[in-house]
A and B are shown apart, each in its own frame.
Chain A
Amino acid sequence: MNRINTMFLMILLSGSLALAGGSAKLRVEGSTTVLPIAQLAAEEFMNANPDVTISIQGGGSGVGVASLIEGTCDIADASRAMKDDEIKKAVDKGVNPVAHVVAMDGIAVILHPTNKVKNLTIEQIRKIYTGKISNWKEVGGEDKKIVVLSRDSASGTFEAFASLALGGEKVRKDALMNASNQAIATTVEKTPGAIGYIGAGYVSSKVKAVTVESVVCVKKNILTKAYPLSRPLFMYTNGKPKGAVKDFLDFILSEEGQALVETVGYVGLK
């Protein structure tokens, strides 16, 4: 009984300590693409500001935005801009979503290293992904069936790719829909006929990133948007950020924060 009593006391004590500290709590939720930025930035930020606690959750852009609208998070990470119906719902609930671009992301188109194709135009990418081109010889490669890999149609990366490359057309039905960037990279690495697209931060030497419209998928070109498949990454707040929310966003946009953005594979804005 003694031991149980002691445990209760300890729990009570720690609980009251946390309350007495008067610390600010930040809840960040949303896109798994933005997650690594938020995580690393939160760690560094909490080291510098021990009185602020930041909890980070993934779940996806849709989940984060929904939480912001419900008021269950302070910052919503999103790898896409909010949709019209989401904005409408927010306004209905009295939430005023404000977008902050925290980094740029490039979508790399990747092939098996043995594939001879080095460059694809947006037109060719669109035809491959919508089913009009099914053999590598049609784009200057070997006579081999193209295995098309895509992210799940509900992911932020898919939405960005669909709007940047597909122009609203639907992905072919026999495309393999993968749940993560890593799954696509792994499959492309092992499949000679495969084509896939992933965040530029996920490209490794085991796959080959093609040039798109003869532009190389590198930081400089993504930042200037010269590389056709580049997109901004967002953090949304309710109204103009203030207090700890503002401090955290300021930190991410600072030189130090943007350096962290680079370490997790995205392109810093500065």
Chain B
Amino acid sequence: MPQLCELFMKLNNEKIIRSAFGGLALASLLFLIGIILILFKEGLPIFRIINLFEFIGGKAWYPTADPPEFGILPLILGTLWITVGAMLFCIPIGIGSALFLHEIASFRLRSILKPIIEILAGIPSIVYGFFGMVIIAPFLQNLLDIPIGQCALTASLILGIMAVPTVCSLAEDALSFVPKSFREASFALGANRWQTLTRVVIPAAGSGISTAIILGMSRVVGETMTVLMVAGGAAMIPTSFFDPVRPMTATIAAEMGEASVGGSHYHALFAIGLVLFLITMAFNIIAELISCNFRLKLGLGR
């Protein structure tokens, strides 16, 4: 490394450094464009044998049957059920802990709790999956007396826990963006802590909190390894949270290895990837719009 530094010193020419870093920043743009192009190139050919409505709205996913059926509605619904379920677990825990950390916890307690919550984000998803498959699923199966523990409920529970760090730390950031003057003004008007929190701080941080939730959702939608292991993998249209489901990500992960390259199954899997990409992109755009709005409202600018 010292050699590298010396090299930089010699070349202490701002232009070179500037263009080098510019190039690096541009690289991620190139990656994105490359990924989008490939997704379209490999995904679109499926629409030569099936139209968009049959693909999105089709109720049967039998990619290797003869003739194959490529209806991804059960997969989309699988993802949707799990996402909704995960949010039911994640929003109360994530937002609740953000409020606690920011508003109630003492400085010392916060400096202990925050790293602990962040460790949750660092656990590899396969570990969550394994934990879910070996411990949570059999436990819920016995506890609730359901035929099989690998179902939408188990997947929702585990994904909800996985998304807590994302939601919690982003929501806490949002709370800390609320100017001190808001709080002081509220206290000056005679409001107590609870009133200040529910009527001033949360509404002011509202769009930031919604952004946190949306980004948490996009984490859940994109999660693969865990759902592959605990969601059950049945490509049926779910009718209850105790049904096994097969989310889009798990389908791609499970089948890509065996699909013959360039075949219609292969293209269908890429098309699912495209649908997933569009969904998460929509989430990110919505989150960006909301947070943009939020900064303007608090006079922070961009």
Contact = CB atoms under 8 A, between A and B. Distances in A.
B233 A154 contact: no
Contact of A65 (B148, B233, B260): B260
Interface in B211-267: 228-229, 232-237, 243-244, 246, 253-255, 257-261, 263, 265
Given A153-B64, A190-B138, A193-B147, A62 B260 contact: yes
A236 B110 CA distance: 61
A259 interface: no
B244 A176 contact: yes
A85 B149 contact: no
A173 B60 contact: yes
Contacts of A62: 257-261
B133 A159 contact: no
A186 B129 CA distance: 14
Question: Most chain-B CB neighbours within 10 Å: which of A86, A177, A179, A186?
Answer: A177
Given A179-B254, A183-B229, A190-B141, A154 B134 contact: no
B3 interface: yes
Interface string B137-174: 11001000001111000000000000000000000000
Interface string A139-175: 0000001010000111110110000000010100111
A14 interface: no
A124 to B, nearest CB: 19
A176 B235 contact: no
Given A173-B74, A174-B236, A187 B150 contact: yes
A269 interface: no
B148 A191 contact: yes
B133 A186 contact: yes
B14 interface: no
Nearest to B68: A153
A145 B148 CA distance: 10
Nearest to A66: B261
B48 to A, nearest CB: 16
A79 to B, nearest CB: 10
A155 B253 CA distance: 12
Nearest to A58: B257
B61 to A, nearest CB: 8
B260 A173 contact: no
B235 A173 contact: yes
A59 interface: yes
Contacts of B260: 62, 65-66, 83, 85-86
Interface of A: 1, 4, 58-63, 65-66, 83, 85-86, 145, 147, 152-156, 158-159, 168, 170, 173-179, 183, 186-187, 190-191, 193-194
Given A66-B261, A147-B148, 20 more contacts: A59-B257, A86-B260, A152-B254, A153-B255, A154-B64, A168-B66, A170-B62, A173-B234, A174-B244, A175-B234, A176-B150, A177-B233, A179-B253, A183-B133, A183-B229, A190-B138, A190-B141, A191-B141, A191-B148, A193-B148
19 contacts: A59-B257, A63-B258, A63-B261, A152-B258, A153-B255, A154-B257, A154-B258, A158-B64, A168-B66, A170-B65, A173-B74, A176-B232, A176-B234, A176-B244, A177-B235, A177-B246, A179-B233, A193-B147, A193-B148
Query: Which 10 pairs across A and B sit closest by C-beta, in order of nearness?
Result: A154-B258, A177-B233, A173-B236, A60-B258, A60-B257, A154-B255, A190-B138, A62-B260, A152-B254, A176-B232
